Amino acid sequence: MTTVAQTRSSAAHRALWVLQILLGVFFVVASAAPKFWGDPYAVQIFTEIGAGQWLRYFVGAVELAGGIGLMVPRLAGPAAVGLMALMIGAAYTQAVVLGEPVMVTTPAIIFVLAAVIAWGRRASIADRLPTRGH
C-alpha cells in the first residue's frame, strides 16, 4: 500500500529528473554547441569580454560537461553546483564586464534551477566530499 508521502516523494523524484534532463539538454544543445560552432553572437560576446576566444571554448566545454553531468545520476549534484558557479561568473560578466545588468536575469534563473537540482541531489554531493581522517 502506497502512502501519500511515498507518492509525493516519487513525484518529486520524477520532476527533478525532468528538470535535470531539460536543463542538461539546454546546456548541451543551446549553450555549449553554439560556442563550439563559432556562432557569430557567441564570438562577438567573447570578443567584447576581451579575454580571447579560448574562453569561449573553455566555457563551452564546462557547459557541455555540466549538461552531460546533469543526466548522470552520480554526477547530477556536483554538476549542478559547478553550473551554479558558472552562472555566478556569467552574471558578473554580464553586469560588470559587459555593462549589461539587465542581462543578469538569464544566469540568475538558471542558477536557481541548478540550485534546486543541487538541493535535490545533495546526497550525491555529500558522497563526493572527503571524509575526516582519509
Residue 98 to residue 49: CA distance in whole angstroms: 7
C-beta separation of 76 from 124 below 8 A? yes
pLDDT at residue number 9: 86
pTM confidence score:
0.89
Sorting pLDDT into bands at 50, 70 and 90, what band is 96? Answer: very high
Q: Is residue 84 part of a domain?
A: yes
pLDDT of residue 134: 55
Domain interval for residue 58: 11-126
Structural domain includes residue 86? yes
> Phi and psi at residue 74, in whole multiples of 5°?
-70, -20
What is the number of structural domains in the chain?
1
Q: Which three cell numbers stand for residue 85?
A: 558557479
68 domain residue, yes or no: yes
Would you say residue 96 lies in a domain? yes
**What span, in angstroms and rounded, lies between the C-alpha atoms of 76 and 70?**
4
Residue 132 lies in a domain: no
134 domain-assigned: no
The stretch 4-25 carries a mean pLDDT of 90
